[in-house]
Amino acid sequence: MAIPMFINKTSLSHITPAYTKAVHQVLSSYSDLKVNSGSIENEDAVILGIITSKNDVNKEVRYSNSTLMNTEQQDTIGERNAFYLPTSGAYDLNVQIVVLKRPTKEEIDFFVNYFKFSKSSFPRTIFSKSFTVSGSYTIENEVGGIDSSAPVRGTKNRGNLRKSLIDSADSLAESLREVLANAY
């Protein structure tokens, strides 16, 4: 069985390696199953994963639980009026996982580009399931400049989002394991 890199149809970067790796690790735990990364040549089956957003494109993350700026934050922006800062972010994704029996490269390309066709359109579909993946993370609004010990806000929060996405990939893989255990 081959697992090429999942297809990311969202604006969230760096999620395909985490999701592909998590599914690969789950399937590799089955002793009778040989799982290869990437190559689809001469494999009995290929697993395709397509990640899409449940929300509008480029709006995968929604911000919530806002809090009004504190005095220190207010001082850093000067004469501007205080405003609310989000303290958490959340996302909802769909991950479609499909197992195709001995597909050609052309069939895989077709599937990736038009992945919402029915099973009857591709009769060698062995397995197809859509998983909903949700997660949230904390947004830190620390004040600080180049000379302070406070972390750079954007970098720290991107790291929090990335960690949450990795955790959600592991959750997806466990959900897939449960489905496969019940199905087979």
The distance of Cα 34 from the centroid of its chain, to the nearest Å, equals: 24
Single out the residue of 48, 51, 53, 27 nearest to residue 97, CA to CA: 48
- When pLDDT is averaged across residues 25-51 and rounded to a whole number, the result is 85
Which pLDDT score, from 0 to 100, does residue 25 have?
94
Which pLDDT score, from 0 to 100, does residue 6 have?
92
Mean pLDDT of the chain: 81
d(CA 86, CA 135): 16
The amino acid present at 109, given as its one-letter code, is: D
The pLDDT tens digits for 83-93 are 777 788 899 99
- When pLDDT is averaged across residues 160-181 and rounded to a whole number, the result is 91
d(CA 5, CA 50): 9
What is the number of other CB atoms lying within 10 angstroms of the CB of residue 182?
Answer: 7
Q: Is the pLDDT of residue 99 over 70?
A: yes
Q: Is the pLDDT of residue 171 over 90?
A: yes
d(CA 3, CA 160): 27
Residue 75 contacts by C-beta under 8 Å, 6 or more apart in sequence?
none
Longest Cα–Cα distance of the chain, Å, equals: 67
Which pLDDT score, from 0 to 100, does residue 61 have?
80
Stated as kind and residue range, the H or E segment containing 37 is strand 36-37
Find out whether 103 and 111 touch, Cβ atoms under 8 Å: yes
DSSP 3-state of 105: helix
Least confident of 12-16, 27-31, 155-159: 155-159
Strand partners, 89: 63, 137
Question: What is the CA angle 140-154-20, rounded to 5?
Answer: 100
Please state the pTM of the whole predicted model: 0.79
Buried b (16+ CB within 10 A) or exposed e, 148-171: eeeeeeeebbeebbbebbbebbee
Fold of 2-183: Double Stranded RNA Binding Domain (3.30.160)
Residue 97: both structure tokens together: 């996982």
| Domain map (residue ranges) of the chain | 2-183
